[in-house]
Structure 1
């Protein structure tokens, strides 16, 4: 599995575009796997912190329970404009719970909110792939990356 810092070093422009999409508006969607195997979509904020992609959430939330049981996830940051000038951004992989109280405290202190964020469960993400999907003229352009295949670009008309 790949850390965010490794992706950013390997393909910096692609990683910067992904990060820009997830930071342009803090709320994105996460897909997790329910206990029965069905997908669950939830709102979440994704954070880039100390070289990793991090997911913080309330303890005992359904998405936290899902990730504890089966760490697989996919994040999606959709375009927010009607003209589709911004790409879709997707990141998938597996999330592992951060058990170090000092790391959790440092993460909480780094958040741009005033006051105590309250109790949280924190997950550190290992990346299995990412994609940017955009409209360019008459084409749908898909740029994707995996640790094994590297970068790929496909254009569909």
Structure 2
């Protein structure tokens, strides 16, 4: 696994695109695992703190309890305009493990986490806007890409 900072150092252009999509004020959804192994999805806000992808969970929230018990997660930033079929800059999915970093600091209480990445995936359109492009990065493989009609 790799930190967001490690991802940025390894693939600066791809990381910059992923970060833009994650920060464009579209609702983000995180998937965690319940005690029985079934998925749970929750809305989430993220920050980039010291170059790391970080997020929190309110006190007593199931999301935080899930992550403390089983740190695997998947984060999704949907396309900006889903109604008109315009993918805009596309969507981003981040998968990895949430590392508990302690209680949230500041006026909000809860748990703080940073992300160790296993995969970052971007899905969007090619420059001609006539083919779907899926680009993904894994620490062990670097960036790969496929195009589909």
Q: TM-score, normalised by structure 1?
A: 0.87
Tell me the CA shift for residue 127 of structure 1. Answer: 0.5
More deviation in 18-27 or 4-13?
18-27
For the Cα contact (< 8 Å) 2:121–2:135, is it kept in 1? yes
Which residue is 1:127 aligned to?
A: 117
Corresponding residue SS for 2:45: strand
Q: How does 1:60-79 map to 2 (within 5 A)?
A: 60-79=60-79
Answer yes or no: is 1:150 the counterpart of 2:142.
Answer: yes
Q: Give the total of aligned pairs.
A: 144
Q: TM-score, normalised by structure 2?
A: 0.91
Which structure has the highest helix share of the two? 1
Corresponding residue SS for 1:19: helix
Corresponding residue SS for 1:24: coil
Residue ranges of structure 1 left out of the alignment (5+ in a row): 109-115
For the Cα contact (< 8 Å) 1:26–1:46, is it kept in 2? no
Tell me the CA shift for residue 140 of structure 1. Answer: 1.1
- Deviation track 1:54-110 (CA, whole Å, cap 9, x = no partner) reads 1112021011011011000010000121322221101110001113x6xx43xx4xx
Structure 1 distance, partners of 2:55, 2:36, is 23
Select 1:94's aligned residue among 77, 81, 97: 97
Structure 1 distance, partners of 2:5, 2:90, is 22
For the Cα contact (< 8 Å) 2:75–2:94, is it kept in 1? yes
Q: RMSD of the TM alignment (CA)?
A: 1.3
Answer yes or no: is 1:25 the counterpart of 2:25.
Answer: yes
Residue ranges of structure 2 left out of the alignment (5+ in a row): none
Structure 2 distance, partners of 1:96, 1:85, is 31
Runs of 4+ residues deviating >4 angstroms: none
For the Cα contact (< 8 Å) 2:26–2:77, is it kept in 1? no
More deviation in 37-46 or 81-90?
81-90
Structure 1 distance, partners of 2:66, 2:37, is 10
